[in-house]
Structure 1
Amino acid sequence: MSFYFESPIFVKDGSRIVREIASLDDAIEFLDNWPEAHRDLIYETAWRTCCEVFDGHKPLSVAHSAFEGFARKAKILEDPASVMPWIINSKSGGGLMTA
């Protein structure tokens, strides 16, 4: 079962890749793969919150807020307005952008 966020969160995953976090599963997977050396209290709070939402103890909006706060603190949060034009203008299959 997947719980989709009302609005996706976009994060940098590496130096150039932007990843869409659209669901609780996406958030948990991203946090699970976060380097152990960079895990701090904000990370732990986001991880715990996502697990509590998954277990049905908190609403989905709380996980969205916790993950977004983690991404902001980790300086990997991307502005949706700067990401969306690339998604909207892209052609599927070729990876080419239209003008």
Structure 2
Amino acid sequence: MDRLQFFSPVRISRGQGQPVEDIEGVNEAMAFLRKWPKGRRGPVYQCALNCCAAALAGRMSAEEARKGFTGFARITRLLDDDMALPIGGKNTDSVYAPRR
């Protein structure tokens, strides 16, 4: 397995009736972030971008970068509903989600 590959993909949904996109690793996440509109690049975007850049440089694991990217996707409401709560109902993907 490639060190930049996620253990499980981040599923992105752009809305009802639109195809779901699986982001399977740091390189795909970085490509997605580079296409993000400049006017919508706030602190959450910057955090996700920094996490992916750190993973590419070997200063962070792919799974840590995945958490940053997943947080970005959740806050921008792009995270597919199927990913909102992993199996078992316990949200372990993001530091942005409240713990139960």
Shared fold by TM > 0.5?
yes
| 3-state SS of 2:6 partner | strand
Task: Please report how far the alpha carbon of residue 12 of structure 1 lies from its aligned counterpart in structure 2 after TM superposition.
Answer: 2.1
1 or 2, which has the higher helix percentage? Answer: 1
Match of 2:77 in 1: 75
| 1:8 to 2:9 alignment | yes
Match of 2:32 in 1: 30
Which is further off, 7-16 or 55-64?
Answer: 7-16
List runs of 5+ in structure 2 lacking aligned partners: 84-100
- Opposite residue 8 of structure 1, the aligned amino acid is P
The CA distance in 1 between the partners of 2:82 and 2:25, in whole Å, is 16
Greater CA radius of gyration, 1 or 2?
1
Compute the RMSD of aligned alpha carbons: 1.8
The CA distance in 1 between the partners of 2:70 and 2:26, in whole Å, is 12
**TM-score, scaled relative to structure 1:** 0.74
Note if contact 1:49-1:62 (Cα within 8 Å) is conserved in structure 2: yes
| 3-state SS of 1:58 partner | coil
